[in-house]
Structure 1
Amino acid sequence: MIPVTGYAGAQVAVLGLGRSGLATARALQAGGATPVCWDDGAEGRARAEAEGFALRELSRPEAFEGIACLVVSPGIPHLYPAPNRAIAAAWEAGIPVDNDIGLFFASFGSRTWDKFEQPPRVIAVTGSNGKSTTAALIHHILEHDGRPSQLAGNIGRGVLDIDPPRDGEIVVLELSSYQTELARALTPDIAVFTNLTPDHLDRHAGLGGYFAAKRRLFAEGAPDRMVIGVDEPEGRFLANQMGQGPGDNRVIRVSSAGKLQGPGWHVFARKGFLSEFRKAKQVGAIDLRDIRGLPGAHNHQNACAAYAATRTLGLSPKTVEAAFRTFDGLPHRSQIVAEANGVTVVNDSKATNADSAAQALRAFKRIRWIAGGLGKDGGIESLKDDLGGVVKAYLIGHSARDFALHLGGVPHEISETMAQAVARALAEAEPGDTVLLAPAAASFDQYPDFEKRGEDFMAEVRARLSDRPNSA
C-alpha cells in the first residue's frame, strides 16, 4: 500500500467504492486521514461498512462540512455528459476534487528513498488502443531482465494498493483518459502515448476533449522521456509540442505505419521488422514476424512503444528481443487460445469498437469472424476496407442485423448467441483458417464486460475441440 500523504488528521470524502475507491480509503487511513465514503449502490456501501469506514451521502454542499478533499473513482463523470451530483456539490462548497492517480503521484515518494542507490521510477502508458498490452509488455521485459517492477492502474492492481517500491524499482501504470483527466498530480518519469482513435466521446464532449485528457500526462507532468506514437495527427502534434528541436532525444517517436526519418530518436516497425534509429543511424533491430505473442501491425506498434520505453532504462536490444519471445500476450487481446487441425482460434474480446476490430482483422488471413454485441456510433461501416480476409462472418447480439447491412458481399449468418457462432465457425473452418472473436461492439447486451464475453468464447471453443488448446 502507498499511504496517502498531506491529509493526516483531516477528513477526506471518497466517492465510488469499487476496487479503486476502497483501495483509496485504505491508503488515506494508512496516511492518517479519516475517509468518509459514499457509493450510490448499496453493495458498495456495504463493502465499505464491512471494513469499518464511515458513510455519508454527498449530494448536498452541506455534506462537505469539515471535508478537505473529494476523491472520485474513474467511472464517475465529473464534467460531461453531466457532473455527478456529489461532484457538483463539492464544487459549490469549494472542495478540491481529485482521484487516486493524483493522490498516488503526490504520495509516491518517501524518506526511505534516501537509503536507495537508485530511486524508484514510474512509466505511465496512455492512448486509445494497445495501452494495456504495452504496459504489460514493459512490465514483462523488466521482469524478464530481473528488474523489480510492479504493474498497476487500469490494469493489475489499483495504484494505491501496490507495495512500497524497492531500490531501483519501476512502477508501470496503464492510465485511461478518465484517470488522466482529473488527477491533480501527474509526474511520471517516462510517459507513453500509443495512439488516438475516437472513444469515450460522450465523457469528453468530443475527440478534442478526449485528446486533451490524454495530453495532460505530458503537459502537466513534464516527464524526463516521452514515447509518442505518431501514426495519427494528434500524436505528431503532441511530439512537436513536447520537443525542443529536431535533435531532442527526450521525445522518442514510434510508428507502425512506415519508416521515420530525421535526426531524432525513432523506433518504427515496417513489414514486420522493428528498427531503432538515433541521429539518422540504425542502432537496433528485431524481426517481429514470428513472435507469437505480438501478432499484427497493432501489436508491432505496441512492441515499438515498449521497446523505446525500456531502452530509455538502458536495456539492450537483445535483452528486449529475448523478453518479446517469452511474452504470451494479454487475455482477450489477440489471444491465441487454441490450435487444432490447422485452425487457429483467437480471442480479441477487447476489440470493443470498429478501430480496434480493424487492427485484429488486419493481423490474420482467412478469417471466420465472430462479431456483434451492443454496437457503438457508426457500427462497422468504417471496416469496409478491412474485410478482404474474412471468409465468413458470424454475427451475435443486439447489433447483429445492423452489422449484416455493412458486410457487402461477405458471406455471413445471424448466429445470435456465442454458443451458436462458435459451433458454426469451428464446424466450417478449414486448415489455414483463423476463428477470430473481434466483436467491434460493447458486451453489455449479453455480458457484464468484455472479459466475461471472452471467457464464454473460450469455454465454448474448448467444449468443442478434441485437441487440448494452447492457452495464451
Structure 2
Amino acid sequence: MIPAQGYVDQKVGVLGLGRSGLATARALNAGGARPLVWDDGADARDAAEADGFEVLDLSKTVNLEDMVSLIVSPGIPHLYPKPHPAVAAAWAAGVPVDNDIGLFFRSFATQDWESFDQMPKVIAVTGSNGKSTTSALIHHILTEVKKPTQLAGNIGRGVLDIEPAIEGEVVVLELSSYQIDLARALTPDVAVFTNLTPDHLDRHAGLGGYFAAKRRLFAEGGPDRAIIGVDEPEGAYLANQTNGGNGDDRVIRISSGQKLSGPGWSVFARKGYLSEWRKGRQVASIDLRAIAGLPGAHNHQNACAAYAACRTVGLAPRVIEQAFHSFAGLPHRSQLVAERGGVRFVNDSKATNVDSAAKALQAFKRIRWICGGLEKEGGLDALLPHTDDVLKAYVIGREARNFALKLGGVAHQVCDTMEAAVTAAAQDAKAGDTVLLAPAAASFDQYDSFERRGDDFMRCVKALDD
C-alpha cells in the first residue's frame, strides 16, 4: 500500500467504496488522515463500517465541514451527464474534488528516494482500445528482463494498493478517461496514447469532451516522453501539440498501417513488421507475424506502443522482441481458447464497441462471428465494411433480432443465447475457420461484465468436447 501523503489528522471524504475507493480509504488511514466514506449502496456502506471506517452521507453539505478534500471513485459522474449530489455538495462547500490517481501522484515519491541512484518511473497508458493489452505487454517485457515493475490502475490492482516503489522500479498504469479527467496531479514519466474512437460519450458530453479528458495526461502531466498513436486526427493533433519542433525525440509517434517519416522518433507496423526510425534512419525491425499473443493489426499497434515505452526506459530492441514471443495475451482479448479439428475458437469479449470489433474481424480469415448484446450509440454501419471475411454471424442477446437486422448482407442466424451460438457455429465450421466472439456491444443485457460473457463462451466451447 502507498500511504496517502499530506493529510495527517485531516478529514478526507471518500465517495464510492468499490476496489479503488476502499484502497483510497486504507491509504488515507495509513497516511494518518481521517477518512469519511460513503457509497450509495447499503451493502458497501455496511462492509466499510465493519472494516472500521466512519460512514457519513457526503451529499449533505453540513457533513463536509472541515473536510479538506473529496476523493471520488472513477465510476461516479462528477460533471456529465450530471454531477453526483456529493460532488455538487463539495462544490458548494468549497471542498476540492480529486480522485485516487491524483492522490497517487502526490504520494508516490517518498523520502527513501533520496538514497536511490536510479529513480522509479511511471508509465501511464490511455486510449480507447488496446490500453489494457499495451499496459500488460509493457509489464510483461519488464518482468522478462528482471526489471522491478508493478501493474495497476484500470487493470490489476488499484493505484494506491501497490507497494511503495523500490530503486529503479517501473510502475505501469492503465488509465481510463474517467480516471484522468478528475485527477489534480498527473506526472507520469512516460505517457502513452494508443488511439481514439467514440466511447463513454454520455460521461464526457460528446467526443470532444472524451478526447479532452485523454489529452489531460499530456497537457497537465508534462511527461518526459510522450508516445502517441497518430492513426486518427486527434492523435495527430496531440502529437503536433506536444512536439517542440523537428527532431524533438521527446515525442514518439506510433502507427499501425502507415509508414511514418520525418526527422523525429517513430515506431510503426506495416505488413506485419514493426520498424523503429530515428533521425531519418531505421534502427530496428521486428517480424510480428509469428507472435501468437499479438494477432492482427490492432495488436501490432499495441506492440508498437509497448516497444516504444520500453525503449524509453533503456531496453534494447532484441530484448523486447524476445519478450514479445512469450506474451500470451490477455483474457477476453483475441484469446485463443481452443482448436478442434482445425477450427480455432477465439474469445474477444472485450470487443464491446464497433471499432474494437472491426479490428478483431480484420485479424482473422474465414470467420464464424458470434456478436450481439446491448448495442452502443452510433449503430453498426461503421462495422459493415470489415465483414468481408465473415462467413456467417450468430447473433446473441435479448435484442438479437433487432441487432441482426442491422448486419446488412451478412449471412446470419439469430441464436439468442451463447450456448446456441457456439453450438451452431461449431456445427457449421470447417477446418481453417475461426469461431470468433467479438460482440460489438456491451454485455449488460445478459451478463454483468464482458469477463462473464467471455467465460460463458469458453464454458460453451469446452462443453463441445463433453
In structure 1, C-alpha distance between the alignment counterparts of 2:435 and 2:13, rounded to whole Å: 48
In structure 1, C-alpha distance between the alignment counterparts of 2:278 and 2:24, rounded to whole Å: 42
CA drift of 1:383 comes to: 1.0
For residues 231-272 of structure 1, what are the alpha-carbon distances to aligned partners after superposition, in whole Å with 9 as ceiling and x for unaligned?
A: 000000000000110200000000002100000001000000
CA RMSD of aligned residues (A): 0.7
1:171 is matched with which residue? Answer: 171
> Does structure 2 conserve the Cα–Cα contact (< 8 Å) formed by 1:384 and 1:406?
no
Confirm or deny that 1:194 pairs with 2:194. Answer: yes
> Does structure 2 conserve the Cα–Cα contact (< 8 Å) formed by 1:120 and 1:169?
yes
1:469 is matched with which residue? Answer: none
CA drift of 1:116 comes to: 1.5
CA drift of 1:278 comes to: 0.3
1:247 is matched with which residue? Answer: 247
For residues 323-348 of structure 1, what are the alpha-carbon distances to aligned partners after superposition, in whole Å with 9 as ceiling and x for unaligned?
A: 10000000001111111210111100
Q: TM-score by structure 1 length?
A: 0.98
The code of the aligned residue for 1:425 comes to A
In structure 1, runs of 5+ residues without a counterpart are 467-472
Confirm or deny that 1:50 pairs with 2:50. Answer: yes
Confirm or deny that 1:295 pairs with 2:295. Answer: yes
For residues 58-100 of structure 1, what are the alpha-carbon distances to aligned partners after superposition, in whole Å with 9 as ceiling and x for unaligned?
A: 1121110121110000000000000000000000000000000
2:380 is matched with which residue? Answer: 380
- Paired residue secondary structure (1:283): strand
1:269 is matched with which residue? Answer: 269
- Paired residue secondary structure (1:76): coil
Residues 12-411 of structure 1 mapped to structure 2, 5 A cutoff? 12-411=12-411
- Paired residue secondary structure (1:254): strand
> Does structure 2 conserve the Cα–Cα contact (< 8 Å) formed by 1:369 and 1:394?
yes
In structure 1, C-alpha distance between the alignment counterparts of 2:311 and 2:364, rounded to whole Å: 29
For residues 334-378 of structure 1, what are the alpha-carbon distances to aligned partners after superposition, in whole Å with 9 as ceiling and x for unaligned?
A: 111111210111100000011100000000000000000110112
> Does structure 2 conserve the Cα–Cα contact (< 8 Å) formed by 1:375 and 1:398?
no
For residues 24-83 of structure 1, what are the alpha-carbon distances to aligned partners after superposition, in whole Å with 9 as ceiling and x for unaligned?
A: 000000000011000000111122112100000111211101211100000000000000
In structure 1, C-alpha distance between the alignment counterparts of 2:333 and 2:288, rounded to whole Å: 17
CA drift of 1:190 comes to: 0.2
2:459 is matched with which residue? Answer: 459
The code of the aligned residue for 2:77 comes to P
CA drift of 1:402 comes to: 2.2
In structure 2, runs of 5+ residues without a counterpart are none
In structure 2, C-alpha distance between the alignment counterparts of 1:302 and 1:269, rounded to whole Å: 10
In structure 1, C-alpha distance between the alignment counterparts of 2:458 and 2:328, rounded to whole Å: 16
In structure 2, C-alpha distance between the alignment counterparts of 1:25 and 1:59, rounded to whole Å: 18
- Paired residue secondary structure (1:195): coil
The code of the aligned residue for 2:105 comes to F
> Does structure 1 conserve the Cα–Cα contact (< 8 Å) formed by 2:394 and 2:425?
yes
CA drift of 1:411 comes to: 1.4
Q: Number of paired residues?
A: 466
Confirm or deny that 1:8 pairs with 2:8. Answer: yes
In structure 2, C-alpha distance between the alignment counterparts of 1:347 and 1:376, rounded to whole Å: 20
In structure 1, C-alpha distance between the alignment counterparts of 2:210 and 2:257, rounded to whole Å: 23
In structure 2, C-alpha distance between the alignment counterparts of 1:46 and 1:246, rounded to whole Å: 58
The code of the aligned residue for 2:195 comes to N
1:415 is matched with which residue? Answer: 415
CA drift of 1:409 comes to: 2.4
The code of the aligned residue for 2:104 comes to F
For residues 111-135 of structure 1, what are the alpha-carbon distances to aligned partners after superposition, in whole Å with 9 as ceiling and x for unaligned?
A: 0011212111000000000000000
